[in-house]
Copies of this chain bind each other. A is one copy, B any other.
Amino acid sequence: MQDIYANLSPEAAIGIFDSGIGGITVMKELVKRMPQERIIYFADSARFPYGNKSPRTVTKFAADIVQFLLRYEVKLIIAACNSASAMALPTLRQQFQAPIVGVIEPGARSAVEKSVSRNIGVIGTDGTVQSNAYYDAIKRLDPSARVHQRACPLFVSLVEEGWIDTEATRLIAREYLQPFKELDVDVLLLGCTHYPLLRRVIGEFMGQEVALVDSATSCAIEADRLLADHNMKAQRKDRAEHSYFVTDTPDRFRRLGEKFLGADISKVDLVNDLGD
């Protein structure tokens, strides 16, 4: 088997992509854990969202982005988008000779570790749920686990609209999540990068006995481990500078991104020629 890390340098950047702003939650965990790593973040904001689109389309979009990231020196690519991880990852790994990590496997591992009852709930976009990617990943780790899935597409719109904690948000959460209460899950996997922003409303409804798991932390741990295993961790001592690319206007990305990241985003570049 070919070593895809062979010609890569530890000082190269980590590429992270998402359809939009959501993957910033993964980036935030990564920066906290590995402040010396340089990150190139790519948001396909012109074609956002991915979650209600077909595997074929999402795979094409994700491949466009990986192609773009490979123009830069990257040592690891993170598909920080649940929909892209669920629908496109196997194809991307076939198509490109580059280390690519998604959020599904780390999230599934974390859910399996936390569940005692082996009754696990998974929420995500239509695309993620229909792909069965979380279902399959959890079953691979623990064939005895029972996995209950539901798509909650309105959650993304609520977060994008900033309706984090309104009466309507609580009503919608109740409507989506009621079945999980009846199924007596002890872990609810937030299978979309937007959902952690609704953690409070979701947690209030589900109650303290249900652990909410998101992929951001477990994905950062996985990336850390992978780089360490391949002697690919950056050696610089100072905090790294990051770069941002978007396919729609930078302003909105910067505004929301700084909120998600909790830090300044200095320079965002507009990419015009993606997929051409």
Measured between beta carbons, the chain B residues less than 8 angstroms from A52 are 48, 160
A47-B47, A54-B248 given as contacts; is B175 within 8 A of A166 (CB)?
A: yes
| Across-interface contacts of A61 in B (CB, < 8 A) | 46
**Residues of chain B within 8 A of A46, CB atoms compared:** 47, 53, 57, 61
Partner of A154, one of B54, B163, B249, B252: B163
Task: Identify the closest chain B residue to A276 (Cβ).
Answer: B276
* Complex interface residues of chain A between 41 and 80 (CB less than 8 A to chain B): 45-48, 52-54, 56-57, 61
Q: Which residues of B contact A54 (CB under 8 A)?
A: 248-249, 252
Q: Of B57, B153, B249, B276, which contacts A57 at CB under 8 A?
A: B249
Q: In the complex the two chains form, what is the Cα distance from A161 to B247 in whole Å? A: 26
Q: Can you tell how many copies of this chain the complex includes?
A: 2
From the candidates B153, B166, B249, B252, name the one contacting A157 in the complex (CB within 8 A).
B153
Cβ of A84 within 8 Å of any chain B Cβ, yes or no, is: no
CA distance A54 to B254 in the complex (A): 14
Which among A48, A54, A156 has the highest number of chain B CB atoms within 10 Å? A54
Nearest Cβ on chain B to A150's Cβ, whole angstroms: 13
Residue A116 interfacial (CB < 8 Å): no
Q: A275 interface residue, CB < 8 Å from B?
A: yes
- The number of chain A residues touching the other chain, given as a range, is 20 to 34
Name which residue of chain B comes closest to A152, CB basis: B161
A57-B249, A247-B57, A276-B276 known; A158-B167 Cβ under 8 A: no
- Min CB distance A90 to B, Å, is 19
Q: Which residue of B lies closest to A250 (CB)?
A: B54
Q: How far is the CA of A252 from the CA of B158 in the complex (A)?
A: 23
Q: Is A248 a contact of B154 with CB atoms below 8 Å?
A: no
- Per-residue CB contact flags for chain A residues 140-159 toward chain B (1 = under 8 Å, else 0) read 00000000000001101110
Residue contacts A-B, CB under 8 angstroms, 13 given: A46-B47, A46-B61, A48-B52, A52-B160, A53-B248, A53-B249, A54-B249, A56-B249, A57-B248, A57-B249, A154-B158, A168-B168, A168-B171
* Besides the known contacts A47-B47, A53-B249, A57-B248, 16 further A-B residue pairs in the complex with CB atoms under 8 A apart: A45-B53, A46-B47, A53-B248, A54-B252, A56-B248, A56-B249, A153-B157, A153-B160, A153-B161, A154-B157, A154-B158, A154-B161, A157-B157, A167-B171, A168-B171, A168-B172
Residue ranges of A at the interface with B (Cβ–Cβ < 8 Å): 45-48, 52-54, 56-57, 61, 153-154, 156-158, 160-161, 163, 166-168, 171-172, 175, 247-249, 252, 275-276
8 tightest CB-CB pairs across the interface, nearest first?
A: A157-B157, A54-B249, A168-B171, A46-B57, A57-B248, A168-B172, A47-B47, A53-B248
